[in-house]
Chain A
């Protein structure tokens, strides 16, 4: 298994592409072969990521040392390399990504949104998998950007082709558009808008690094080293951070860049929303932890209060918007804005507690919101509506489905003992004592407001349960046959449920991977000199 040390990550990233090639060879009509191929490809990817865990050395888990590292020249002219590697931060994200992909393939076994065409859909899913896995392992800015952008394309097609066809009046435009078209284009352009700035920031780092001992480089570990030694500072770094911030903030999404998210989620096919919520959103917050913080630590500190304020606005704003929704899927989509707000609040504290909170929050949100979208999709499949006013008494018609929905809603509102609690709670803990030098006033207010946000979260989740799950079913469903959860749904959901409980009672599941590396990240990026400099500025 020695070869795995060098090939492991490449396998994890590109096995889905092998799947794409195989899928391409199978004729469109042979559905079962297509599905089996997709499943095998995703399971093998997942297996590869499990072997990564098994062979991961948790004892030497410090920041900026990567395992399974591979660096090969790629585009020599601009010194861009095929440089991949993982550490304790990317490991849980990578495994989450491969894991959710397996479940998505299982779920789609007998849930194809119109116009079906499993071949094309599976191919898009596999391309998406490559993009997502690649983003989590890339250690080169160009490579990172490439994978980051690859993700857009399949998602664009998923929304645009398999999405919701109902016409919708778009504010600002005279005529009606199909929801899916508007959503797909908005998603693509919005993200591309952010990406343009992201690329700008990356290029600026590239040229600026030319002054250092490394020469011009896109290499993340080298840039991290430069960042820790204070190579990037002043107005230049401030602007670069701003550009990169914009790129990631759109993806997260942070208020006020969130408006693509409800539309994309609502319009996307079930599996699309699941992957969007579970993994895609995390690419942004992961980028903050992997790129923004370590490479531009000083600027991160000066931007932190701003990020915290936006995060807190997101928490309250997203929760309030949820209360106004009548569409179940849109409600769940808006809930992501609030939850991602907690994650960003954790990151903005620049402490080990906060960043750990963000990572466990990302994993938990991936599991919980992914499951919620699965359920929303299955319910739409059966009721052919997502209007909560028309639903009701779901738990009477489908007890198992209703039970799982209730469970997931409870997990989503951050019930202690389930996965969602730790991210929220620790974000609040971290905001109580942010990195020394950060404004206590801002962060402690953020803590209080964020805590109040949890009330609103509980409010809209209970309200949704009341509308959808409880009460008597409406008259229009009388006499209709509803088949409860089928075995493919169970196979896709039970692992999520189990993990939600396990992480809820045993967060060490995630922390054992992240805690050491995050601590050393904070030590490295925000060592005493940085903070001393900041506090002396404030003092002076």
Chain B
């Protein structure tokens, strides 16, 4: 394995993915083409352009699948770039795509989950407003996400990063008639923008120090211990992590994700659960060599933040009534697991959890969407007893919930791997918090399941199972949610598919990550027990509800639950800061501009004008002009006398003239 990698490392542009890798860029472009096509023709088509979006992702999925299989067999490592501009002293901007184990996994994930969700959306959005715009923006997201995960350098990653942010903003605010949704979009965009400052500054630090933004170059520099990178590694790594915190909703940047549920449910499933929010995790995995070989200090920060996120934000899911918010908090919590895993050195463990999480969380969201579609409410207090009305939704939901809770299905394997990594690294406290988190996860999922599907129906009308176009995607997603765990059972290598660990190891430099060589049965048992305990307690609290249906959700722990309902006051704090900036601070600045600076300018203008008035009125009008006025008055007076001579009679003039001549003649003759 290692020798093949180092061989590949010497010839990164060798293109051993063949034609498929050389043309992988098609995947990055197709969704954008779909975006433009839908904008242009979407309104005229039967599914309002949904078919174009689906077709684009279906073609993409062919590439992704072929590459995935090729990578599983022999590894694919390729990179194609085009220069889009350079600045004199060696600063080069490039676009292109990198094809290696990590990006191929993400290509597959985005295209597979994307395709399933797109198909689901054909049914879910059928009677909605602006369906063409929905699919256009959704395609825009898919394109931006693929640009992000296929990025060969930090610049393209930033382009994709902001692109998915834009798509997220557009789709969270999809129902923009209601300004609350717009505010949720703004919150998401701005929260991410704050974190993006870290990403951009981190990219500058890392890129400028080694003179390249190319991930390969950064990996090599980190692997070989380049001193110029080592000098900025800690600060740069911290900044990059700061950026990742935003997109991956790590505490305290998690505040945007629950609000982001204002978007249509397919958006929540694909973007705010399966793919977009994992961009931060992906970034950490992409930059893993930097953290592994250089910026070890940053990993401590990452572990602390990740642990706080996985437990603290997970707790918030217990008090949420909105079913999508429960899932959103759960997503944040799982992202915390992934972040902690990668920080602990579990490159494979984190990515594997990302992989399984994408399938079962998308499944859960689509299930929730199916329920919402039937009930026309997001609130679990309006649901109940849906098990009987919506059997397919119910059973696929159970698969997803078990997977998420870590009981038996795919989530069990990936979570166990994370726990094993923590155990191996001796992070005892983190390990126990994570196990407690697993308990919390199982508990709130049990709560959501029992409140939604058991008991009696509380809502209006008679709910019914969703159409085939929505249930089939549920079933399709249930398969990987159930069995994806087998891909990475330590020591097990599937025929033709190999092992997830091997897939991911196809990188330019060895990752040096810590992944379990064998199943840690002890930890697995503890994790499983914690999860089962969570389900059981959930069942005890939320299931036995024979007599008082309405009081089911009345379980309360004093102090803790009110605090959770206030979301630890972090939202309020953030809103307060924003209000402070937007209100008093902005007004102060505007005031200084209008009254202080402009007041000065106007004051000068007034002073000058006043001076002018003085000069004019006093000096000019009374002084200088007085003299001239006097002179002109004299002239005027003289004129009024003299002008009588000008009678207008020509002959009078002639007579005067003759008289004058005669006088002159007389003077000549008699005087001289």
Residues of A within 8 A of B (CB): 170-173, 186, 189-190, 256, 258-259, 262, 317, 320-325, 352-353, 356, 393, 395-396, 410, 415-417, 421-422, 425-426, 428-429, 432-433, 447-448, 451-452, 454-456, 458-459, 462-463, 466, 469-472, 505-512, 515-516, 518-519, 522
Contact = CB atoms under 8 A, between A and B. Distances in A.
Interface string B67-85: 0000000000000000111
Nearest to A511: B85
Most-contacted residue by chain B among A325, A462, A518 (CB, 10 A): A462
Given A173-B606, A190-B601, A511 B87 contact: yes
A455 B197 contact: yes
A323 B602 CA distance: 24
B602 A428 contact: no
Mostly, the A contact residues are helix
Contacts of A447: 201, 204
Given A429-B208, A459-B582, 14 more contacts: A172-B605, A186-B601, A259-B598, A320-B585, A322-B586, A323-B582, A393-B177, A432-B205, A455-B194, A455-B197, A462-B189, A462-B190, A466-B186, A519-B87
B110 to A, nearest CB: 18
23 contacts: A172-B606, A258-B593, A258-B597, A321-B586, A321-B590, A324-B586, A356-B87, A396-B177, A415-B166, A417-B159, A421-B159, A421-B162, A432-B204, A448-B197, A455-B190, A459-B190, A459-B578, A466-B182, A471-B177, A471-B179, A505-B95, A506-B85, A507-B93
Given A352-B87, A447-B204, A519-B89, A171 B602 contact: yes
A502 to B, nearest CB: 11
A408 to B, nearest CB: 13
Interface string B581-619: 110011101110111011101110110000000000000
A202 B93 CA distance: 39
Nearest to B591: A324
Interface string B44-78: 00000000000000000000000000000000000
Contacts of A415: 162-163, 166
B193 interface: yes
A323 B88 contact: no
Contacts of A456: 581
A366 to B, nearest CB: 18
Given A171-B602, A428-B200, A428-B201, A256 B84 contact: no
Contact of A508 (B84, B194, B578, B585): B84
The 5 closest A-B pairs by CB, nearest first: A519-B88, A172-B602, A323-B586, A324-B590, A508-B85
A416 B83 contact: no
Contacts of B161: 416
Contacts of B91: 353, 429
Contacts of A395: 176
B176 A470 contact: yes
Contacts of A428: 200-201, 204
Contacts of A505: 84, 95
Contacts of A321: 586, 589-590, 593
B552 interface: no
B527 interface: no
B464 interface: no
A511 B182 contact: no
A518 B88 contact: yes
Contact of B162 (A189, A417, A518, A522): A417
Contacts of B93: 507
Contacts of A471: 176-179, 182
Nearest to A458: B193
A49 B200 CA distance: 36
B183 interface: yes
Contacts of B582: 323, 459, 463
Nearest to A456: B581
A414 to B, nearest CB: 9
B159 A353 contact: no
Given A320-B589, A353-B89, A454 B597 contact: no
Nearest to A518: B88
Contacts of B196: 454
Nearest to B232: A432
Contact of A324 (B163, B204, B205, B589): B589
B109 to A, nearest CB: 23
A462 B582 CA distance: 12
Contacts of A522: 88
A451 B201 CA distance: 8
A71 B507 CA distance: 60
Contact of B197 (A452, A506, A511): A452
A323 to B, nearest CB: 4
Contact of B86 (A324, A472, A515): A515
A107 B154 CA distance: 39
A458 B189 contact: yes
B589 to A, nearest CB: 4
Contacts of A463: 186, 582
A466 B205 CA distance: 34
B336 interface: no
B483 interface: no
A386 B190 CA distance: 25
A410 B166 contact: yes
A397 to B, nearest CB: 12
Nearest to B173: A470
Contacts of A506: 84-85
B602 A417 contact: no
Nearest to A259: B598
A509 B585 CA distance: 39
B31 to A, nearest CB: 14
A393 B175 CA distance: 12
Contact of A173 (B86, B89, B189, B602): B602
B595 to A, nearest CB: 5
Contact of B87 (A171, A189, A455, A515): A515
B158 interface: yes
A518 B578 CA distance: 40
A320 B84 CA distance: 34
Contacts of B589: 317, 320-321, 324
Given A173-B606, A320-B581, A519-B89, A416 B176 contact: no
Interface in B201-216: 201, 204-205, 207-208
A416 B193 CA distance: 12
Contact of B193 (A320, A455, A516, A519): A455
B87 A353 contact: yes
B88 A352 contact: yes
A470 B193 contact: no
Interface string B143-168: 00000000000010011011100100
A416 B158 contact: yes
A433 B210 CA distance: 13
A516 B204 CA distance: 22
B583 to A, nearest CB: 9
A323 B93 CA distance: 33
A417 B581 contact: no
Nearest to A433: B208
Given A171-B595, A396-B177, A456-B581, A324 B208 contact: no
A99 B595 CA distance: 38
A522 B87 CA distance: 12
Nearest to B199: A451
B160 to A, nearest CB: 8
Contacts of A259: 593-594, 597-598, 601
A458 B189 CA distance: 8
Given A324-B589, A428-B201, A466 B163 contact: no
A489 to B, nearest CB: 18
Contact of A416 (B159, B178, B594): B159
B190 A508 contact: no
Contacts of B162: 415-417, 421
B87 A466 contact: no
Contacts of B159: 416-417, 421
B535 to A, nearest CB: 42
